[in-house]
A and B are shown apart, each in its own frame.
Chain A
């Protein structure tokens, strides 16, 4: 493909076939936001059902489906893809690379995630969504009637494949594609934490893949791994799920930690306190993340020694996390703090997340866990860490990087309304749930009886959920109402890292010349020690770019066709789907695809136009 041909494409075809990390990142954000909205609607429906005792807005069966879809959606289809969106867009810019290591796989990862998510949602229209909770414990899941759980298994299998591909891609990118001078210990913290999160993806997702495979064989082909009457063992599922599931929550929170470590120094006008301690704390959290999965299973009956070991290991995680919290506080200490929306989310995160961390240590106390297990206390805890940590991080990242990504600044006025409403709504929803849990309200119940002292707090919780929904609508309004703020978008926050050195909108090749990195926070260093411009590490030359391709969509679509074949036992569909997938992979393997070059004069012209 020539340069001219690569430039002339219609919009839809361009987005379907793109392999540009920036466009894939925006696709991830759009896909993640779509599923985030769906998951939010499910949450609000559940809160309305629990607003008053004995409500009958939804049936108990529907409630089970809502809670399952809410959990599954928020973890796999909203939080992770939204983080992947920012990682995709920002990491290559932060390390001074022109793209990720495998642009083709990057696009493939997105389409697998998106089609997997859609497959999961098709179940709503085919007689019942999955209803066994996001953890899908056997035998509840293996004996669940209908096709709901089959959609769960295959949808997650396909989207999990996409996540695994994305994780490997980030690992290879960060190891191999750093600009000259960007040593590992000069990498921005967001890149570091995404790197560790990608390692966790690489090692944790295989356990989920195996678990889902066993469940699929059990449900679709009558295998007996979990069937006790055939000598199977149901605990295997719980172990496999949590060996994946616990690292999964660190996969979510570590990139969010990275975002705060970018936002706080920028708006405190100080370099990050204890950079190397932050890096090692991230690594230690990643390592300990694999040591603690059985704290989700204290009440299974593993025995006192096993429980004690996992309890102690879990509490140990409070140490590196505490190091991080103190480093953020000390970064703020004596800084010139700007209360922008992005920074407000970072500042709101610190106390909110600490509260979630404290209840985490309470839950880790294995003896007390018998009291807390499966109550609203657990619900309150994990919403405090996931909303107070991950979602606040996503919103901070959105306000922080929005100018670079979309070429306009989100309105600060609407942003502050959004932040305060969301913060108040969040604490209102979940703070009271601690006490609901301590009073004995079990999680996942479709209704509760009056006169048990649960009425008032459930009502407060629901009102809080409404506030969060209003806040989210304000965010949507801000996104559409702020498009006129097109001034000062190249470096609006007086940034420190390389992504603020490239023009906005970012040219498809990112850097006309690969940058030379001379210190941690390279842009800040050049602003104060140099001439304010990043030095180039190479002469201006032609830039080699990958071709756009429709094969990622084709490969993913084939897997979806095959999944329908598996769910409904239609052999031709299975074969047809695999022919599409493997045919597309075959074409990819044998077709020579050398990409194209952007000529020097185009790059020079861009530079003169200040693009």
Chain B
């Protein structure tokens, strides 16, 4: 019976033209984003190693690069840009929002400085 088919079984036969084109596109996207990430990571190392960024700005600068990289990772490597990921997007961004709130609160509200 059809309800007994194993959904994880390997696909049979050759992919269609359309699927082949999609796969090719995806390979290109993955390669480009991979190169971009290597570039971002090396930027972080080089900028700090060569003192190109002023000291006061160094940490925000790396954090910014890290943020960009996280988003790229989520959307291109972990396929959050694909169709049918609406709820995943909602959950990830809500989680990031709450996490940011927590970190922000612990940075600003526990010190000697009163706001």
Q: Which A positions have Cβ atoms within 8 angstroms of B?
A: 171, 175, 199, 202-204, 207, 233, 235-236, 239-240, 243, 290-291, 294, 301-306, 541-542, 544
5 new A-B pairs (CB below 8 Å) besides A290-B101, A542-B3?
A: A294-B105, A294-B109, A302-B114, A303-B114, A306-B109
Contact B94 A542 (CB under 8 A): no
With a CB–CB cut-off of 8 A, which chain B residues contact A301? 114
Complex alpha-carbon distance, A290 and B108, angstroms: 17
Neighbour of B110 across the interface among A235, A291, A304, CB < 8 A: A235
Least Cβ–Cβ distance between B109 and chain A, in angstroms: 5
- In the complex, which residue of chain B has the Cβ closest to the Cβ of A310? B109
Instruction: Please state if B105 and A203 are interface contacts (CB–CB under 8 Å).
Output: no
Residue among A301, A303, A304, A544 with most chain B CB within 10 A? A303
What total of chain B residues lie within 8 Å of the partner, measured CB to CB?
18
Contact between A239 and B98 (Cβ–Cβ < 8 Å)? no
- Assess A239 versus B106: contact at CB under 8 Å? Given A203-B94, A541-B1: yes
B97 to chain A, nearest CB (A): 8
User: A207–B109 Cα gap in the complex (Å)?
Assistant: 16
Task: Report B-chain residues with C-beta under 8 Å of the C-beta of A207.
Answer: 102
Q: Is the CB–CB distance between B110 and A541 below 8 Å?
A: no
- What's the dominant secondary structure at chain B's contact region? helix
A267 → chain B, closest Cβ, in Å? 33
* Chain A residues positioned under 8 Å from B115 (CB to CB): 302-306
Answer yes or no: B67 CB below 8 A from chain A CBs. Answer: no
Nearest 5 A-B pairs (CB), nearest first?
A: A303-B114, A303-B115, A235-B110, A203-B98, A305-B115
B114 touches A175 (CB 8 A): no
Q: Is the CB of B95 within 8 A of A541?
A: no
Q: Which residues of B contact A541 (CB under 8 A)?
A: 1, 3
In the complex, residue of chain A having the shortest beta-carbon distance to the beta carbon of B111: A233
Task: List 6 A-B residue pairs with CB atoms under 8 Å apart, sorted by A's residue number.
Answer: A202-B95, A236-B110, A239-B106, A239-B110, A294-B105, A303-B115
Closest B-chain residue to A204, C-beta based? Answer: B98
In the complex, the answer to whether A202 meets B105 with C-beta atoms within 8 Å is no
Report A514 CB to chain B, min CB distance, Å.
12
Bound-state CA distance A261–B4 (Å) is 39
B25: min CB distance to chain A, Å: 28
CB atoms of A542 and B91 under 8 A apart: no
Bound-state CA distance A236–B91 (Å) is 26
Q: Which residue of A lies closest to B98 (CB)?
A: A203
Which residues on A sit within 8 Å (CB–CB) of B57? Answer: none
Q: Chain B residue with minimal CB distance to A543?
A: B3
Q: Judge whether A243 and B105 touch: CB under 8 Å.
A: yes
Flag if B105 contacts A542 (CB, 8 Å). Answer: no
